[in-house]
Amino acid sequence: MKIFATKKGTVQYYDESNIHRVATVLEFDKTIVAKNEIVGGEVLVHFALYNKKPVANKPVRGQYKEVESFSKIVTSIEKSEMEVSKEVDATLIKEDDLVNVYSRTKGKGFAGTIKRHGFHRGPKSHGSRNYRRPGSIGDTGPQRVIKGKKMAGHMGFVNKTMKNVKVIKKIDSKKQIWLRGHIPGPKGSMSVIEIKND
């Protein structure tokens, strides 16, 4: 089962061994069941982020006519079908549970090789003029750039999966949970929490 959540920021706390740690605070968004499908003998459930702008476009909305307004769709394989248009119950998440979190990292724009891949710079003395240049990108062999060559380019804004993240605290009154460590993405970004099937 998957639930949409918004990243509110990070907090600091001390665990049972009095060790200083960091946790990420996520706030649950309204998630409803949009559709059930039988695929290959398994139940594929579509979960929708409900009543949050921007609204999904018309072709996507046409696939989920029973749902009035939604922004995002995620799917999950479940043991049984779930009632369509019913809100997902976040009470299934408990403290000390392990969950998977899907999020998108911060966008860094166009970055050079030092920032993007951790290259070393050249010497700044004796007129080197090779401070932050990438240097040679290969020999004279194939006369082309090999795929996967580490070069300057777009950095960040990619999907990341965090597996087996521990739930430190759950605050039902605020619809918030604390997850151990840092979850990728800026404040206000959307994440998807996956509750593992037993």
Neighbours of 81 (CB within 10 A): 14
Q: Position of tokens 């309204």?
A: 30
Domains, in order of start, for the chain: 1-29+89-122+150-198 (2.40.30.10), 31-86 (no CATH)
Q: How confident is the model at residue 41 (pLDDT cuts 50, 70, 90)?
A: confident
Q: How confident is the model at residue 197 (pLDDT cuts 50, 70, 90)?
A: low
CA distance 76 to 33: 11
> pTM for the complete prediction?
0.86
Q: Which of 103, 108, 81, 66 is nearest to 193 (CA)?
A: 103
pLDDT at 145: 92
pLDDT tens per residue, range 140-192: 888 899 999 999 999 999 999 999 999 999 999 999 999 999 999 999 999 99
Q: Where are the beta strands (DSSP E) in the chain?
A: 2-14, 20-28, 31-39, 42-50, 70-78, 98-104, 107-111, 153-156, 159-171, 176-180, 190-195
- Asked whether residue 198 carries a pLDDT value surpassing 70, the answer given is no
State the virtual CA torsion across 15, 17, 18, 23 in degrees, nearest 10. -20
pLDDT tens per residue, range 47-106: 999 877 778 888 888 888 888 788 899 999 998 899 998 899 888 899 999 999 999 999
Our measurement of the distance from residue 85's CA atom to the centroid of its chain's CA atoms, rounded to an integer in Å, reads: 24
Q: Position of tokens 């999950």?
A: 76
Residues 146, 147, 151: CA angle, nearest 5 degrees: 85
Highest mean pLDDT: which of 40-44, 80-84, 118-122? Answer: 118-122
- Residue 60: strand, helix, or coil: helix
In 37-73, which positions are buried (b, 16+ CB within 10 angstroms) versus exposed (e)?
eeeeeeeebbbbbbebeeebeeeeeeebeebeebbbb
CA distance 148 to 84: 44
- Residue 80: strand, helix, or coil: coil
pLDDT tens per residue, range 11-25: 999 988 999 999 999
